[in-house]
Amino acid sequence: MSIVVTGATGSLGRLVIEELLKQVSADGIAAVVRDGAKAADLAARGIEVRVADYEDPAALAGAFRSGDRVLLISGSEVGRRVPQHTAVIEAAKAAGVAQLAYTGILGGPEADFELAAEHKVTERAVLDSGLPYTFLRNGWYHENYTANLAPVLAHGAVVGSAGAGRVASAARADYAAAAAVVLTGEGHLGKTYELSGDTAWSLPEYAAEVAARSGREVVYQDLPAAAHLEVLTGAGVPQGFAELLVDVDAAIARGRLAGTGGDLARLIGRPTTPVGEAVAAALKES
């Protein structure tokens, strides 16, 4: 039996691997990756690398073993995720894995924005498979904002269409720590965790935090949805993805990403990382 992380060379996957290595030996971990060369560093640390693409059911058939505990990290290709995730679920069922944990989205079936659609279908597919499951419904990441600090500082503005809506984000590392807990611990089968940060903040408050941390003048510029879409596409964001982002801001305005139920902090046994710390870290790296 191994603890298996799919998408293991992605931003979240690598952090999950690091958290797992704090709790289990490397030879008890397997990394499912699309490109084995990108996982050479993991193999050098004693982690088993299994090469399989979400788009390749034949390769996925050899990616899992009976009794494995598997983390299915949701794919990044919006519009392709349902068939990709279904292929992983079918391979996991055929192998007889002991646990399939899935990184969905905060709110699950109640999430009423377009980015949640494929996650909801995937959760239903997991339930229909009969596999022992754990649902990790991840909220927004701090990094969704802090990775974009360069243009914010250049223009002195955080741009959005969320109004005064609030976001209970957490650091990607917080979500990775939670995944490691459910993969290594007991009592998590059949459980659903709504994961979010301890504190919800608004985009005007975020702009003020960036200003305070950077010593620069930064304000929040709230735009109508159509104007926000135009800004994003003008900055090179593909039309379809830009539309999803504007739709998410509308969901934020409705309070859909503001929940602070505390599941994340309880799982990791500590407070979640404040957004101000994430801003400070991103400024140091910029």
Residue 286 has pLDDT above 80, yes or no: no
DSSP state of 199: S
Q: What would the pLDDT profile of 184-236 be if each residue is shown by its tens digit?
A: 999 999 999 999 999 999 999 999 999 999 999 999 999 999 999 999 999 99
The CA distance from 212 to 228, in Å, is 25
Q: Is residue 84 within 8 Å of residue 70, measured between CB atoms?
A: no
> How sure is the predictor about 142, in pLDDT bands with cuts at 50, 70 and 90?
very high
The CA distance from 131 to 134, in Å, is 10
Residue 39 has pLDDT above 90, yes or no: yes
Q: What would the pLDDT profile of 54-102 be if each residue is shown by its tens digit?
A: 999 999 999 999 999 999 999 988 889 999 999 999 999 999 999 999 9
109: phi then psi, degrees, rounded to nearest 5: -60, -20
The CA distance from 84 to 57, in Å, is 9
Q: What would the pLDDT profile of 122-138 be if each residue is shown by its tens digit?
A: 999 999 999 999 999 99
Q: What is the mean pLDDT of the chain?
A: 96
In this predicted structure, what is the pLDDT of residue 63? Answer: 96
What is the mean pLDDT of the segment spanning 110-121? 96
Which domains occur in the chain, in start order?
3-138 (3.40.50.720), 146-166+198-258+274-285 (3.90.25.10)
Q: Is 158 left (phi over 0), alpha (psi -120 to 50) or beta?
A: beta
Residue 260 has pLDDT above 90, yes or no: yes
Return the residue matching tokens 């400070």: 280
> Could you give the percent of the chain with pLDDT greater than 90?
97
SS3 state of residue 134: strand
